[in-house]
Chains A and B, each alone.
Chain A
Amino acid sequence: MKHRVVNSIGKRVAVALSALSVVVLGIATMPAGAGASSGLTAPTAGMKPATSVGKGEGSLNLIAWEGYAQPQWVTPFTKATGCVVHAKYAGSSGEMVSLMANGGGGQYDLVSASGDADLRLIYGGSVKPVNMKLVPASNQFRPFLKAPSFNTISGVHYGVSLQFGPNVLLYSTKTFPKAPTSWSVLYSKKYKGKITVPNNPIQIADAALYLMKAQPSLGITDPYELTQTQFKATVALLKAQKPLIAKYWNLASDEINLFQSKTVVAGAAWPYQTNTLQANKVAVADTIPSEGATGWADSWLLATKAPHPNCAYKWMQWVSTPTVQAEQAISFGETPANSRACAIMNKMSAGSCAGYHADQPDSYFKSIKFWKTPLSTCDNGKNNCVPYSEWTNAWTQITG
């Protein structure tokens, strides 16, 4: 018994080991890192996009942010196209990139990625070119969202723009009868233990944005492109902020809890939290302070191995229409990409167009510093910036 066991294990180990070397290569080339650096080309850039949309395949698999596939617009979509929608909600941009590895694995058709994941997906070969002619409503998009740099590379589109929004300063109106005008409240000892910020390395950019104005001598021009010195100063600011933090929030519902229970009085938030809290009669409001704000811009990107391409195109067509854009904008508290959504928003809920900034000129969009993956190349070829992996490591050092 004893010897047989040992021998058979031995044999199997040998077999497993011989398979090992092959697998190592497979894993090593897994799109683990950002993979995006200038000089790289998107592996799928040469793929010919579809020229027409055929009959739906009856099914559509999405990776989405929670709230991006609500029954309000999914049910009529399924009725109209016969495509049954399966949505899987991701917890972070990193999770999205991981789930989309290997072109979506032949599982997923579309992903509603934010700007900080887009380039990783494109340069990782996980998404492929989209024929914008097949998405006619994209002509109604705001000009800067027709071919933005986060989803369009050298004129090749990898997805359609969806919605965008700012990261706002949420505050208790009991503590602040007047809206704070600077992000400095988040770094002020006065509110020790009553502050919350997102548990996300990209939050370093928020601090860098604040330092752009607060410490001009650092010479920060882009909060996502930081030299070692600028990065160190930003991290030092965040380390000094840590004792003031009640909790680094992870889910939107966390932050809602924190404000509702009066554990915190100020924090960085999405407009969604403000809406939900106000709807529940909690005395809060939000503002974009004088330093400006960071923000997100989301797109639906098409998986390289999308198993239901026709349903995927039908979905992109559907979510780009003014009505669906308006529905999602109000439901989540974002600004729609389609410029015609404004009038419909006001019909659905009076004043919501202005409330979600859908009536603002392009300069408003330009005032928001949208999430993007920090690269060592600085986007300007200087090669002296701190890459995202170091941001993550620094964030663990700050919050740990």
Chain B
Amino acid sequence: MRRRFARAGLWLWVWGVLFFLFAPIATIVLFGFDKSNVETWPIQHWTFSWYSVAWHDPQVRSAFALSLKAAVAATIVALVLGSMAAFGVHRARFFGRDSISLLLILPLALPGIITGVALNSAFQWAGITLSIWTIIVGHTTFCIVVIYNNVIARLRRTSNTLLEASADLGATGAQTLRFVTLPTIATALVSGALLAFALSFDEVIVTTFTAGAQNTLPIWIFGAIRLGQQLPEVNVVVTMVVILMFVPILVAARLTGSENFAPRVAAPQPPK
């Protein structure tokens, strides 16, 4: 009986969290149909016209394309560097390991404005022209920790004996990586990559100082909400992005959630 109550309570909680997660999203979608650019609740006059405005806005299209490119590139570089860092820290036992974790976390913990201005003056000093590449560099810097955190949390839950067993059974380093290590951390990589991608796709502050004359989508949005004339258009653009991302996210969720994707190598394993 108590169990059933506990279950019901848990599901009630889940529905509550889902409501919390989607109430603002619903608000964004609804205000995309608001004729007025001053938001009042409830909406007085409805219109579809912002959809055509947003669809035909060349600034929105180029900003979206730039954000997508930068986020994909930053995620890939961060995947490589972040998992390398996690493996390095996990394996090595040397003085100063704690400070490496701190180091990697810094770009998240420090106000983006500090990272942005520091990078900006470093690029200026080195004579590097701001471009999509400097955006990618900036974003990678704070995406590494996302991958690192996910991978190292996974590694800590995986026993080293697996790798040793693989080596003992005659596997080369590459084989161990391919058949043991990667499957173990695969889901951590996918979920880390998703978070890193989202963080990069949505970043405003560092981007302001590393982006040069190009606008990413969040920078366009920040500009558009300042005066508020284009608020409904912003809501429409956000709605369209969410719809567009629906399928890729479900695919990624399938990958992360699926039991088959990462065979549970760890048979019953006592906690350390």
Contacts and interface: CB of A to CB of B under 8 A. Distances in A.
A contacts B: CB pair < 8 Å: yes
Given A2-B92, A61-B213, A280-B36, A253 B125 contact: no
Interface size class of B (residues with CB under 8 A): 35 or more
Contacts of A88: 211, 213, 215, 219, 223
A76 to B, nearest CB: 15
Nearest to A109: B213
A276 interface: yes
Interface in A243-267: 251-253, 256-257, 260-261
B130 interface: yes
A27 B228 contact: no
Contacts of B121: 26-27, 30, 101
A151 B94 CA distance: 58
Interface string B206-232: 001101111100010011111111010
Interface string B39-57: 1100000000000000000
B103 to A, nearest CB: 11
Nearest to A67: B227
Given A6-B94, A280-B36, A23 B125 contact: yes
A251 B209 contact: no
Contact of A86 (B40, B122, B214): B214
A324 B228 CA distance: 22
A272 interface: yes
B94 A91 contact: no
A102 B38 contact: no
A276 B230 CA distance: 12
Interface residues of A, number: 36
B91 interface: yes
A276 B228 contact: yes
Nearest to B211: A88
Nearest to B100: A9
Contacts of B117: 98
A130 B229 CA distance: 33
A25 to B, nearest CB: 9
B39 to A, nearest CB: 7
A5 interface: yes
A245 to B, nearest CB: 21
Nearest to B219: A88
A89 interface: yes
A251 B221 CA distance: 13
B120 A252 contact: no
A212 interface: no
Contact of B129 (A101, A105, A272): A105
A361 to B, nearest CB: 30
Contacts of A280: 36-38
A66 B226 CA distance: 7
Nearest to B117: A98
A251 B228 contact: yes
A91 B222 contact: yes
A137 interface: no
Nearest to A30: B121
B88 interface: yes
B93 interface: yes
Contact of B229 (A2, A67, A101, A282): A67
Given A27-B121, A88-B215, A253-B231, A98 B209 contact: yes
A5 B224 CA distance: 48
B228 A23 contact: no
Interface string A88-109: 1101000100110110011110
Nearest to B215: A88
Contact of A105 (B130, B223, B229): B130
A88 B135 CA distance: 15
Contacts of A61: 212-213
A84 to B, nearest CB: 10
A1 interface: yes
B160 to A, nearest CB: 14
A272 B227 contact: yes
Given A5-B92, A88-B213, A102 B124 contact: yes
B129 A107 contact: yes
B226 A253 contact: yes
Given A2-B93, A6-B94, A107 B213 contact: yes
A288 interface: no
Interface string B113-125: 0000100111011
A116 to B, nearest CB: 18
Interface string A64-97: 0011000000000000000000101101000100
Interface string B18-30: 0000000000000
Contacts of B226: 66, 89, 91, 251-253
A240 B125 CA distance: 44
A66 B229 CA distance: 10
Contact of A107 (B212, B223, B225): B212
A67 B208 CA distance: 18
A91 B125 CA distance: 24
Nearest to A250: B226
Contacts of B224: 66
Nearest to B204: A91
A251 B229 CA distance: 12
Given A251-B228, A253-B228, A280-B36, A99 B209 contact: yes
- In the A-B complex, the 8 residue pairs with the smallest Cβ-Cβ separation, listed nearest first, are A253-B228, A89-B223, A61-B213, A26-B125, A66-B226, A280-B38, A86-B213, A251-B226
Given A5-B92, A91-B226, A107-B130, 12 more contacts: A1-B91, A30-B124, A99-B208, A101-B120, A101-B121, A101-B124, A105-B130, A107-B129, A257-B39, A280-B36, A280-B37, A280-B38
Interface of A: 1-2, 5-6, 23, 26-27, 30, 61, 66-67, 86, 88-89, 91, 95, 98-99, 101-102, 105-108, 251-253, 256-257, 260-261, 272, 276-277, 280, 282
17 contacts: A1-B92, A2-B94, A23-B122, A26-B121, A26-B124, A30-B124, A61-B213, A66-B223, A88-B215, A89-B219, A89-B223, A95-B208, A101-B121, A251-B226, A252-B228, A253-B231, A276-B227
